[in-house]
Amino acid sequence: MANVPRRIAIITGTSGNLGINIAYRLLKEVPKRFRLTIIVTSRTLVKANKTIHQIKDYNEKKNLRSDGYLDFDYLLLDFSDMVSVLSAVHSLEENYEKIDYLFLNASQNTHDHFNYVEATKEMLTDPVRASTNPGYKIEKRGVKSKDGLGLVFQVNVFAPYYLIEKIKGSLLAKSDDARIIWISSILGRPENFSFNDMQLLKTGMAYGGSKRLVDLLHLATYKELKDKYGIRQYLTHPGIFVSYTYTRFLNVFMYYGMLALFLLARWLGSPWLNIDGWKAANAPIYVSVKADKEDDQSLKYGSACTKGGEEYLKTTTVDSTGKDDVLQYLETLKKEWDEKFRDQITDSRKL
């Protein structure tokens, strides 16, 4: 096996509906001459193991990759804990010589409740908005992680950025075709974010705000990653699909009501109602395995589908206002965390 060329992929949050479908599609799309290693990440060992079994079963059922051409590893990674991020970096550097694909898919929100009056109004008057930009999903404000950072900001933006910063030179640059794939959202709208609230602690739209930050961060960093490290970074979004995170809050009537609403919005002409995790993974898979040097990295690659549910790729442009401010903020915060970690190491050596 020593001479078999290898592709190594990390998918953060592999256990979610999109994460696991990215894994399924990689089995199919990464050319079979490569030995594919999928590094599953989860906050718990139980979920990591379960996810690996699901992917293995899928491979066997579909007869996709033969023995020796597929293997797995896992990382216990919690983006709400910077020590966990740093441990993941050490573990990767110890066990791998390179990383080819880094899918930044894990995300968190601070869902509080549904405003049912608003939901009914929106569904009756504007089903497309109710599906693609709902005003009835109410988030908790001001939630901090145990690291003292805005929770949604840390999990969705800062910790993945920190991970990139730590492995871009040591692992990603060692690949002959490294790709970083950010999973954003159509909710990354400028109006969901304010520069006076970088850690998204005052807003009731922290989730959408975090995706706007991702969009700006991508625009501020992709050129340097390519020119200095030979890494191609892409910005994608999966459209709308059934999220395991949200289905936890729904009873059976609400679940089927949601599916009916999504189908109606698709029929009314929204291209983003993929519903299914497999179709939602179209854009992330395209940029990781199929995109070539001609594909414009300043665009946002979206997974879209026709009224009949046929998948296609749809790109959109992103307003870049404030990208440098975002990068500067994150660079400063990164330096602060580097200092904190340095101090911790010194402290532990004191007698």
Residues marked as catalytic? 184, 207, 211
Residue 195 makes contact with ligand NAP by CB under 6 A:
no
Up-side HSE of residue 319: CA atoms within 13 Å toward CB?
11
Rounded Cα distance, 137 and 115, in Å = 7
- Least Å distance between CB 53 and ligand NAP? 14
Span interacting with ligand NAP, options 42-50, 130-138, 261-269, 308-316, rule CB under 6 A: 42-50
Q: What is the 3-state secondary structure (H, E, C) of 213-235?
A: HHHHHHHHHHHHHHHHHCCEEEE
Here's the x/- map for ligand NAP, 219-238, by CB under 6 A: it reads as: ------------------xx
- Candidates 16, 150, 204, 302; binder of ligand NAP (CB under 6 A) is 16
Percentages (nearest 5) of helix, strand, coil residues in the chain: 50, 20, 35
Would you say 33 and 44 are in contact if contact means Cβ atoms under 8 Å apart? no
Span 261-320, contacts to ligand NAP by CB under 6 A: none
- Candidates 74, 193, 241, 262; binder of ligand NAP (CB under 6 A) is 241
Here's the x/- map for ligand NAP, 172-191, by CB under 6 A: it reads as: -----------x-x------
- Candidates 99, 180, 240, 318; binder of ligand NAP (CB under 6 A) is 240
Span 61-120, contacts to ligand NAP by CB under 6 A: 77-80, 105-108
- Candidates 8, 17, 52, 166; binder of ligand NAP (CB under 6 A) is 17
- Least Å distance between CB 349 and ligand NAP? 29
Q: Give how far Cα 205 sits from Cα of 122, 228, 304, 328, 333, Å.
A: 18, 35, 24, 22, 22
DSSP one-letter string for 323-349 = HHHHHHHHHHHHHHHHHHHHHHHHHHH
- Candidates 47, 166, 168, 300; binder of ligand NAP (CB under 6 A) is 47
- Least Å distance between CB 198 and ligand NAP? 19
The distance from CA 146 to its chain's CA centroid, rounded to whole angstroms, is: 22
- Least Å distance between CB 106 and ligand NAP? 3
Q: Which residues contact 324 (CB under 8 A, 6 or more apart)?
A: 220
Name the 3-class secondary structure at 26.
Answer: helix
- Least Å distance between CB 238 and ligand NAP? 5
Q: Give how far Cα 93 sits from Cα of 99, 163, 167, Å.
A: 10, 12, 8
The residues of the shown chain that bind ligand NAP, judged by CB under 6 A, are 12-13, 15-19, 42-43, 47, 77-80, 105-108, 155, 183, 185, 237-238, 240-241, 243-245
